[in-house]
Amino acid sequence: MTIVARLEPQDPSRPVGGVIQIGARPATLDGCMQAWSETYEQQTIRTNMEASGYVKVRRRVTGKTTSIEASATLDSKHYDDIQKWFFENSQAGVVPTRVKRPQDGKEIVVRFKEPPVINFVDKNAFNVAFKFEQLPAWVTLA
C-alpha cells in the first residue's frame, strides 16, 4: 500500500513543492522504537591547504540530513510484517516510510538506508535493527 503526501518547500523563495510517495507501515507495527540514535551528516568540505597557507572550510549543503539507528524487540508473529514493510511497501529503501520518534511519539518520514538486521532471541521474539535517513525536505511532511 502506498500513501501520497504533499511536499512543501522549506524556503518559500525557492519553491520545490510536489507530491511524494510514502510506503505504508503495516498496521500490525506501531512504528515506535525502543532504542533511537541520531547523527547529522557532514555539511562541510575542508581543503588541505589554500594558497594563503590556511585550511579553508566551505559549506557543502545547507539542509540537515539525519541518519537514524533504531531498534525494537518484537513478537515473532511480526517477522513477515517487517519483510513486507521493507521489501514491498518501501521497495527496499527506494520509497520513504513513516516511523515514530520515541522521545515524543511524533511520526516522521524516513527512508531505509539498509535492510533491517534481524536477530532471533528465541522462537517467540526477535530484535530488529534499522538504519534510516531523513532528508531535509521531509521534515515538513506530516
This prediction's pTM: 0.77
Name the residue range of residue 116's domain. 2-140
Q: Name the nearest CA neighbour of 113 among 133, 95, 96, 99.
A: 133
- Count up the domains in the chain and report the number: 1
Helix residue ranges per DSSP H, 12-113 = 79-83
Q: What is the pLDDT of residues 11-51, one digit of tens each?
A: 544 445 567 889 999 999 988 898 999 998 877 777 776 66
Contacts of 112-120 with C-beta under 8 Å, sequence gap 24+, read 112/86, 113/67, 115/86, 116/82, 116/86, 118/79, 118/82, 120/76
Closest CA to 70 of 124, 28, 30, 22: 30
pLDDT, tens digit (0-9, with 9 covering 90-100), for 63-98:
788 999 999 999 999 999 999 999 999 999 999 999
Q: Cell 534481524 sits at which residue?
A: 118
